[in-house]
Amino acid sequence: MNSIDSALPFLFTVLIIMALLFYRLHWRLQQKKHLHLQSNVRQLAVLRVLIAEFQRHRGLSNGVLCGDTSMSQALATTRQSLDQHIHVAQAFDSTHREAWKGLIDHWSRMREGRSHDRVNNLMQHHLIIRNSIFLMEDVASEMDLTQGLPALGYLSCIWHEVIQAAEWAGQARALGTGIAAAGHSSVEQRVRMHFLYQKIELLAGQAFTTLQQHAQAYPQMAAFRLSHCEQVVTDFLRCIKQELLGSEVPVIAANTYFQQATQAIDELLALVDTALDQLQQQHGKE
């Protein structure tokens, strides 16, 4: 009995030490998870900017190649902005480092090559933007960014429907800017534009339906200004239909069309910005 009594303090001490060790291990794992999550949110924020700038560069470069040299200065400014954000991306210590490296290398080749072939120029921009979107989806799905919070349940819509709608709108901006700059369109271009019109209408419609349903249960969704965003996108679709699909000889100026398209794209990407803000606010509390 005495031996048991004398062993109890030792066993109690061992249990306390083990509990402390397990707590420290749990804390370190939680910290590692939190840092990983914050890193992914930062990567998503940079990707959102890169996608927007790649899209802008695509539209401006196509306008210049189609004859509207008034866009040259804006193109140079966009190129400088891309260089700055690519520099930020180079510093990421990410589990997606190979995908990031591919993206950075592709931009370097595009920047130095500066293709004068309109078709190849669009193809290269489509490719780098598509890969940027794939990387965004991979980063967003690597871990549960909602952390089980129903209020953030709309996030999958942001990384898919909203980003895809913005990209189809970006393609419509690039193609339409080229058509307006040239002052005429081919049957093939109008068929392509009609396809882009349908994709924007479909994906934006799905996104607004999903987000508006979520907004009924969560007041913080008011920050998305969904009605305003939807109206701007609707106005852009009307512009495509009236100015580009209705005639093979458009009268709208390339810069005017570019700006109207940009407003719609900016509104869609503002939804991504608001989602990222809410993510950062939520995980900044932890």
Residue 259 maps to a domain: yes
Per-residue pLDDT tens digits for 232-283: 999 999 999 999 998 889 999 999 999 999 999 999 999 999 999 999 887 6
Residue 5 maps to a domain: no
Q: Whole-angstrom Cα distance, residue 174 to residue 192?
A: 12
Q: Whole-angstrom Cα distance, residue 21 to residue 14?
A: 10
Residue 170 maps to a domain: yes
Residue 258 maps to a domain: yes
Query: Could you count the other beta carbons within 10 Å of the beta carbon of residue 93?
Result: 6
Lowest mean pLDDT among 13-17, 107-111, 175-179, 252-256: 13-17
Q: Are 283 and 44 in contact (CB under 8 A)?
A: no
Residue 194 maps to a domain: yes
Residue 98 maps to a domain: yes
Residue 26 maps to a domain: no
Residue 49 maps to a domain: yes
pLDDT value of residue 200: 98
Q: Whole-angstrom Cα distance, residue 33 to residue 28?
A: 9
Residue-number span of the structural domain to which 226 is assigned: 42-284
Per-residue pLDDT tens digits for 26-37: 656 666 666 778
Q: Whole-angstrom Cα distance, residue 100 to residue 102?
A: 5
Total domains in the chain come to 1
pLDDT value of residue 226: 96
